[in-house]
Amino acid sequence: MLSLLFIFLCHAFLNQAAILHCDFETFCNDFVSDNNWGLKDGQDSQPINHDHTLNTSSGHYLYYNPQDGSRFSIAEIKTNGWLQPSTDRPLCFRMRYYTPRLSFPFNIQLVQGDDEQLTRIAISIPGKDPSINDWTLINVTLPNERIKIFIRTNVTARPLVFDDISVDYCDGPPPSPPKVLFTCDFESFCSEDFVSLPLYPYQWSILNASDAVKIESGAPATDYTFGNESGHYALSPNSKIIKSGNVGYLHLQKEFQITSQESYCLNFEYYSYGTWYDGNLKVYSWTSDEPKTVQMLWPGRSSGGYT
């Protein structure tokens, strides 16, 4: 009976664990900080004589200790990896902060994209809440998207401290589904929206995997959508490479009206193969109005090399 009770209690506690959590009483791996942050307890009473987790002077919290001294330097704490929601339940980011300064701005930012260049501010904190002289809660409902969370500031003053940083399910309505402008898995009529631009040496074809491997022995034997040989994907054969510097373009013919008030993410899967691979995959946008600007969307400048 005691063993059953122990198992039940362990199961209950595990179910209550947050998805991401750092209380700074044990080793924290869910959130990582740069060298502008350190751990301390409340025993020296500066700037606050107790933590939030234990509410005692022996409890630990994260404190801001800027190293550079330049107002152009950004100090940050971020999630250790991508946060990918797997259900329709809303997620919330929560943390506690304390500063005695009425003006001490920092913000919570949501970052997306392989190169982490798409950034939006989820909430900006101006400093101390005049009505609270203790740990103050920050609670942000997260979008149902693949994101990283950053806490950032470029203030060079002190003090600022954080405790109990977490991501967990929260009460509230389900998050709004993402607005999809276009999607194609090459299994339906959407394949007709893509053309391989003529007059270029390398031509793209949309084939099922079983036919693709007849052309290219190293091509993937299954597609991404179905995971079998009947699924389709777009292929530019390695065997057709005839000269360094030649190109081929797979062109999506649909046009999208995107304004500065909205931001969108491009998602796709790619597969490189062969005993050697001397090509580059790049994604461009082309504005239909004058001056018909061409812009490289992927990879970003900070992404490193993609081949």
The ranges assigned to domains in the chain are 8-169, 179-307
Lowest mean pLDDT among 122-136, 166-180, 290-304: 290-304
Which range among 173-187, 193-207, 247-261 has the greatest average pLDDT?
Answer: 193-207
Residue 187, pLDDT score: 93
Query: pLDDT confidence of 307, banded at 50, 70, 90?
Result: very low
Residue 178, pLDDT score: 73
Which two tokens mark 38?
């350190």
Lowest mean pLDDT among 84-98, 149-163, 231-245, 290-304: 290-304
**CA 227 to CA 64: how far, in whole Å?**
48
C-alpha gyration radius of the chain: 25
Spell out the CATH class of 8-169: mainly beta
Which strands form 106-112's sheet, in the order they lie side by side?
31-33, 75-79, 148-153, 106-112, 118-125
Q: Would you call 197 helix, strand, or coil by DSSP?
A: coil
pLDDT digits (tens, 9 = 90+) for 17-50: 689 999 999 998 999 999 999 999 888 778 999 9
Residue 117 pLDDT > 90, yes or no? no
Q: What is the pTM of this model?
A: 0.66
Please say whether the beta carbons of 50 and 98 come within 8 A: no
Is-cis flag, bond preceding 177, omega within 30? no
Residue 10 pLDDT > 70, yes or no? no
pLDDT digits (tens, 9 = 90+) for 41-85: 888 778 999 999 999 999 999 999 998 766 668 999 999 999 988
Residue 77, pLDDT score: 97
pLDDT digits (tens, 9 = 90+) for 132-167: 999 999 999 998 888 999 999 999 889 999 999 999
Percent of the chain with pLDDT over 70: 86
Residue 39, pLDDT score: 93
Residue 281, pLDDT score: 86
- Name which residue leads in pLDDT, 246 or 36: 36
